[in-house]
Amino acid sequence: MLTLIAAIALLTVGCRPGGAPANNSSDEQPPDAAPPNFQDDGPGPERIAGLTKDEYDGIEITVNVLERNAILPGMGFQATVTVENKGEETVSYVKGSGSFKTPEALFVYSNTLQAVIPEDQLGFATMDFVTEELKPGESLLFKFNVLAVEPDPDFDTFTHELFSDDTYIANLEWSDLKDLFPSLTAAQPGNYTLRAYFLYRLADEGGEFAAFEGPTAYAEAETTVGIS
């Protein structure tokens, strides 16, 4: 009889609200949980502030990442940006220094991945200020380097420092980059948004462009980059 009473008491304690169950499976984590999904949904770059998006609907811009191999945290990759003038108007854009190949008006941006300054915009540059035109039927195509690294406020400084020693930062392996700049953090596995921008200006009345006036509009494209 005493044994039976003791067994009933144990069962009652185990079923009371607040009593801990013998096997609490809710505290266990699934063995193969999917990596978090980090989307870049933040604001755009400061350079587009005050500009009109798609002021001219003849500009078509695309950005693509050819993922032949898995992109790992810290790894570098390239994004191909194409701009086509499919309309009937001519636009002007800032090239910057005449020694640049990649125009300042075209760039990639992400809130969660680190874009790299084009190599042709580093080092010594001529002091001239150049604007160029994109006429109907013409196109631009450039490749940009990006790292699977969290954006760092000092990254551009690091880039210039290394280039002064004849090293382009996008060519370094992640292990070497981390040794040189411990403050850098590799991006976590997940999906990230990479955007491309083209800043331009339509001709003024009479079909003329102001030589030293900046852009009035921009076109934007985006793609998703998967980090394994």
| Contacts of 67 by beta carbon, 8 Å cutoff, 6+ apart | 77, 225, 226
pLDDT single digits (tens) 193-204: 999 999 999 987
- β-partners of residue 114 are 147
What six digits make up the tokens of 112? 């969660």
Q: What is the pTM of this model?
A: 0.81
**Of 47, 36, 37, 35, which Cα lies nearest the Cα of 195?**
47
51-104: pLDDT as tens digits:
999 999 999 999 999 877 799 999 999 999 999 999 999 999 999 999 999 999
CATH of the structural domain 38-204+212-227, one choice from 3.30.70.20, 1.10.10.10, 1.50.10.100, 2.60.40.10: 2.60.40.10
Quote the pLDDT of residue 34: 38
What's the token pair of residue 216?
Answer: 């009035």
From CA 36, how far away is CA 227, in angstroms rounded? Answer: 11
